[in-house]
A and B are shown apart, each in its own frame.
Chain A
């Protein structure tokens, strides 16, 4: 069972599209679930994700042009409750304590958030926290200069 976790694509405002090599990996039928942290930003990208699998879950990022996405979502995959939230709503952004609070509030085993464009995967209080970063490597004003 393959679950694709991605987000912060920022198409077309910051990048022109998903990298070619990545797209080659995404063949329809290969992936069962897609969990998206938001900031796609347009319907075009959603439609593309839906060609890969029917089970696509998206939460609202601060630049998504659809204001009707939910802010938080819980998806059950197998035995796991997975929480999804973009993360710009959690202040301070990327703060581990605050994310822990959100994990407790949502009562999930795995919490997936984005917004920082920084890939993370760690365990805390016996729960798992993931940030898929930006699937397109989009610019983020918060990144320290390289």
Chain B
């Protein structure tokens, strides 16, 4: 038959439409149409792609969209000749169809529940997942500055969250492994997008294993494997130019391990936490990023409850010292104030009772507060200094309310006096209006509290 190829496709397309719409449940009809389409092209010119931009290519794209519109993806995967027709197309058209497939899955909120189906789906989506030999753009276009690339990879990342083996954690584990095996061939620029969702899925899976621990005696070993997998994946991401993401993923892991409380939790949490700390140290050139990361490290440590005293002490000290080594004084002061909580409400495991207990080290809290006060005196900008005195006072009030043994009303009074005298020194111009207002708010609060019995003896005048 000497029909031009685009007409052949249009014909096949119509046949496909017919079979899918009229014989919905008979997959073999649709499959046959796809098989024939492939055969026709193999006969015209075997092993040759349909050139991009041609009418035939356009018709093929239209044809491939039909099953995606008619079925959900799980049924499309039953059409095993679908991928053969997809392979006929050149890069640009394959790319279009793959994006269409993923968008279809996301719009319909289809869940893909088995490892086998995930594997089949990845076969179809290979164009987006690994470098393609027929991609006309150079590899350098695959960077985060290329919006199209970012959009495409974010789509793949979103898709991963639809891989859910409900009620079958072991199957979920297989899915995660398949994702890893597939994505590791995509190059670092793709892994930046595709690894984080599977890492988070792995953490979520450890929680699932914990809930079924009565039925699965191997749950702790399985959790261990998951954490090891995450360790590997995150380690790969450390090769990216910024450490923010792997650092945060490590901290999430430490938290997860601590919450799971499996037999190796402390080891895992310590490993992840110290990795995060190492990444923090490597951020030394970027003051803003470093300060943000240190804040996160402190916030996380305050919540990780599985460390014994030895490990916890090491980490508390490291973070506190790190706070004093930040470049800007105000950052030092503020971060030190955050560190006080590591010596107070943070928890570590008591060796004899094997239970988590709060540190409650009043001495060290006070030492941090005193150090922070000293650093504040060394600030030259008076407005900033006064603002920090206010924040210091608020911190003292916090520990006063917490019944810290060494922080009594006298301590508060002397700080109030100090703040009042420092405030009078700063000018009355507009830019300081905000700071004076903040101080006013603190004093208003204190005046409110002075009615409370605990605050008797509070000396605060106008």
Contacts and interface: CB of A to CB of B under 8 A. Distances in A.
Interface of A: 10-17, 20, 42-44, 62-63, 67, 88-93, 95, 97-98, 101, 104-105, 107, 125, 139, 141-146
Contact of B448 (A13, A88, A125): A125
Contact of A141 (B159, B211, B256): B256
A62 B293 CA distance: 9
A91 B338 contact: yes
18 contacts: A12-B197, A13-B196, A13-B197, A16-B158, A16-B159, A16-B160, A42-B150, A62-B248, A91-B295, A91-B338, A91-B341, A92-B299, A92-B345, A95-B345, A104-B441, A104-B442, A141-B252, A141-B255
A20 B248 contact: no
Given A91-B298, A139-B200, A12 B154 contact: yes
Nearest to A138: B200
Interface string B171-212: 000000000000000000000010011001001100100110
Give the top 5 A-B pairs by smallest Cβ distance, nearest first: A141-B255, A12-B157, A12-B158, A16-B161, A16-B158
A11 B193 CA distance: 11
A40 B281 CA distance: 27
B109 interface: yes
Given A17-B106, A91-B341, A125-B445, A145 B207 contact: yes
Contacts of A11: 158
Contacts of B106: 16-17
- Main DSSP-derived SS at the A contact region: loop
Given A107-B441, A141-B252, A98 B161 contact: no
Given A15-B161, A42-B154, A91-B299, 4 more contacts: A16-B162, A17-B106, A67-B244, A101-B398
B123 interface: no
A67 B161 CA distance: 24
A30 B448 CA distance: 41
B394 interface: yes
Contact of B302 (A14, A93, A107): A93
| Contact residues on B (Cβ < 8 Å of other chain), bracket | 35 or more
A144 B259 CA distance: 7
A127 B401 CA distance: 19
B438 interface: yes
B318 to A, nearest CB: 16
Nearest to B449: A125
A86 to B, nearest CB: 11
Contacts of B302: 91-93
A117 B7 CA distance: 55
Contacts of A98: 398
Question: Which of A15, A16, A88, A145 is packed against the most chain B CB atoms within 10 Å?
Answer: A16
A14 B197 contact: yes
A145 B223 CA distance: 15
A92 B341 contact: yes
A37 to B, nearest CB: 15
Contacts of A62: 248, 292, 296
B153 to A, nearest CB: 9
Interface of B: 106, 109, 150-151, 154-155, 157-162, 193, 196-197, 200, 203-204, 207, 210-211, 244, 248, 252, 255-256, 259, 288-289, 292, 295-296, 298-299, 302-303, 338, 341, 345, 391, 394, 398, 401, 437-438, 441-442, 445, 448
A104 B394 contact: yes
A139 B204 contact: yes
Contacts of B298: 91
Contacts of B255: 141-142
Contacts of B211: 145-146
B303 A142 contact: yes
Question: Which of A17, A62, A90, A146 is packed against the most chain B CB atoms within 10 Å?
Answer: A62
A60 B25 CA distance: 49
A13 B157 contact: yes
Contacts of B256: 141
Given A89-B295, A104-B442, A97 B398 contact: yes
Contacts of A91: 295, 298-299, 302, 338, 341
